[in-house]
Structure 1
Amino acid sequence: MRLNERARTELLAEAEGISDEDINKQPAGDRWSIKQILDHLYLMEGSVAKIIQSQLEKGKKEHVSEKPIDLTVNRDKKVDALDFLTPGGDFATLEELTQKLEASHKLLADTAINADETMLKERVYQHPAFGELSLKQWVPFVAYHEMRHTEQLREVKRALNL
């Protein structure tokens, strides 16, 4: 979770001080606002925590090789969010989003810290781009995914002249 902590600190530092009005502005009709980026990260992190919990309880023991999840940070390759991870366009404050992110982060951390290490290595879940990932790899994947979107947040800030 160290990588996840570092990624979260960097993300929140990038969003700090931006007005609620500005976090809800889209730089273009086809690009997410900062609010949508943060909401997507909340949805993703919470979903991964629940997937890990479910697979620890019901998943089959399998062996998979480690995948190059660090490639997630490469923004040259566009990846569309799954429908249930696509944020809405409703208004939200930075404080509300920060609270949601704190809750999803705590859920993931508690899940990862309290899980049996062997079971994390032996249980898997399908990733849309990488194929089957061990539950152990899903935890740092969340951090790399967040790093990717922190860069996207920086791009939005530049586009909005923030």
Structure 2
Amino acid sequence: MKLNDEVRETLLDEVTGLGDEELNKRPSSGGWSIAQVMEHLYLMERAVVYNIQHALENGSIKEVSSKPIELTVNRSRKVEAPEFVQPNESSMTLKDLQRKLQTSHEALRGIYTTVDQERLVEKTAVHPVFGEMNLFQWIPFVGYHEQRHIDQIKEIKETL
């Protein structure tokens, strides 16, 4: 969770001082607004929490090799977000986004601090790019995924 905490702090620092208009403005070249990127990060973290909980309750024990999840930060390969983690078009406030991100982060932290690591390692869930990953690897994946999108936010800020 240390990686996740550090990356989350970086994310919040990156958007500090931005007004709601700046957050919700989409780049002229298309793509998501900063607010939509943040909403996507919330939806993704929430989905990971759900998937881990579901796999802990219903999944079978299976040994899988570690995946190179650190490659997630490489933005040279575009990955289309699944529909369930795509942000909506409505305008959002920084305060609401911060609250959502805090809620999803606390839920992931709850899993990390209360579930035995051995259980997280022995159960798996399928990732759309990396394939079957043990549940323990899903936790730092969230941090790497967030780092990828911090770079996107920096690019959006430059274009605005």
Deviations 1:128-155 (A, max 9, x none): 0000010000000000000000000000
1:36 aligns with 2:36: yes
Instruction: Note the 1:57-68 alignment, pairs <5 A.
Output: 57-68=57-68
Partner of 2:140: 140
Partner of 2:3: 3
Gaps of 5+ in 2: none
CA distance in 1, matches of 2:155, 2:27: 9
CA distance in 2, matches of 1:26, 1:132: 34
Instruction: Give 1:50 deviation, angstroms.
Output: 1.1
CA distance in 1, matches of 2:28, 2:61: 45
**Residue aligned with 1:55, SS:** helix
**Residue aligned with 1:125, SS:** strand
1:25 aligns with 2:33: no
**Residue aligned with 2:125, SS:** strand
CA distance in 2, matches of 1:126, 1:30: 30
CA RMSD of aligned residues (A): 0.7
Gaps of 5+ in 1: none
**Residue aligned with 2:107, SS:** helix
Deviations 1:17-66 (A, max 9, x none): 00001100000363100000000000000110111111111110000000
CA distance in 2, matches of 1:118, 1:99: 31
Say which is worse superposed, 25-34 or 85-94, in terms of deviation: 25-34
1:85 aligns with 2:85: yes
Whichever residue aligns with residue 109 of structure 1, its letter is R
Q: Give the total of aligned pairs.
A: 160
CA distance in 2, matches of 1:28, 1:134: 40
Deviations 1:60-79 (A, max 9, x none): 00000000000000011100
CA distance in 1, matches of 2:87, 2:29: 14
Runs of 4+ in 1 over 4 A off after TM superposition: none
CA distance in 1, matches of 2:106, 2:73: 23
Whichever residue aligns with residue 113 of structure 1, its letter is T
